[in-house]
Amino acid sequence: MKKIFLLILVTFIQVSIYGQEAIDFEFSFPENSHFTIEQSTDNSGTMKITGPAHEIDALKKAGYSQNRKMKYLMNYTSEYVTGNKTSDSFRFNFSYSNINFDIDSDGKKQKKEGGFPNLILKGNIVNEKLAIVQPANTGSSQDQFVNAIPKYFTLDFPKRSNMKIGESFTVKRNADNKTEGYSFSGDIKYTLIKIENELAYFSISVIFKNNPTSNLKSTGNGNGEMIYNYKEKFIQSEKMKISFSSSQNQTVKIVADNILVTSYELKNLVKN
């Protein structure tokens, strides 16, 4: 009988400890380090265009068909150097060592590969928000292109203390282009599902929310996984797959279906 009670007690203690397992989450980078971040965006889909005959004829004369297939593959490799984190900021330097585009729009292909390893940008993390404090300013036409890249990969992650398995937080991602007349947002929900050694595993769910005033109407959802090193306070990797549909009903009607796959990985970590 004593052995049975002992077994029950040990089991209760194990369950209690597991149930209390928790992490503190905040967005940051490894301190006093050099590392590489690899990011990619793979967007493929179809587009169907219908409308008046003269509009369709003009489209064909320009070399496009009514039923189009599109694929956009973009890869970015960046090198980071960080210093000490203080109570109010965390400064770092980074550069884009390699940028690769592989675009196929209705059979019209465009490839570009290069990088800007000597163009050093400076950033800072204040209150868990990443900001570029010294953008590219060489006076060349490349400055605008390089300075636009970080905004595609920057999310405002919240700071969470004592986060337990099953708990979650939501990050909003907005896209707004007044020239093209579209505006939508995505709710990205991160749910803590496992804690193992120094790593925390999150499931990801994504829901598109369309702006009612947008000319382009979009709906969709997705899922993925994020691995977070809660000892060093950095995102080790993240992958998402999103399916969405868009439509526009103006002079011509456009209906598009896309699958978007994104990835992020921090690697080659070396402490200074």
C-alpha–C-alpha distance, residues 101 and 76, integer Å:
9
Is 7 a domain residue? no
- Per the CB < 8 A criterion, the answer to whether 219 and 195 are in contact is no
Report the CATH number at residue 158: 2.30.230
- Burial group, residue 263, by CB count within 10 angstroms (0-12, 13-18, 19+): middle
- Per the CB < 8 A criterion, the answer to whether 53 and 149 are in contact is no
State whether the Cα torsion 147-151-152-155 is positive or negative.
positive
Residue 175: its pLDDT value, please? 66
- Per the CB < 8 A criterion, the answer to whether 59 and 49 are in contact is yes
Residue 59: its pLDDT value, please? 78
Phi, psi of 87 (to 5 degrees): -70, -20
Output the six-digit token pair for 126.
């204040």
Is 13 a domain residue? no
Question: Strand pairing partners for 242?
Answer: 222, 260
Positions of the chain with pLDDT under 70: 1-20, 151-155, 175-184
The residue segments making up the domain with residue 213 are: 22-271
For residue 152, what is the DSSP state? G
Task: Name the 3-class secondary structure at 32.
Answer: coil
Q: Which residues contact 109 (CB under 8 A, 6 or more apart)?
A: 102, 103
| Domains: count for the chain | 1
Picking from 233, 238, 235, the residue whose alpha carbon sits closest to that of residue 206 is 238
Residue 68: its pLDDT value, please? 84
Is 12 a domain residue? no
Question: What value, to the nearest 5°, has the Cα angle with vertex 212 and ends 68 and 55?
Answer: 35
Count CB atoms within 10 A of the CB of residue 144: 10
Question: What value, to the nearest 5°, has the Cα angle with vertex 41 and ends 40 and 42?
Answer: 120
Is 151 a domain residue? yes
Is 89 a domain residue? yes
Is 3 a domain residue? no
Residue 96: its pLDDT value, please? 92
- Per the CB < 8 A criterion, the answer to whether 183 and 211 are in contact is yes
Kindly report, residue by residue over 107-151, the tens digit of the pLDDT: 888 898 888 888 888 888 887 777 777 777 777 777 777 777 776
Picking from 43, 46, 124, the residue whose alpha carbon sits closest to that of residue 80 is 124
Kindly report, residue by residue over 211-225, the tens digit of the pLDDT: 777 777 888 899 999
Count CB atoms within 10 A of the CB of residue 267: 11
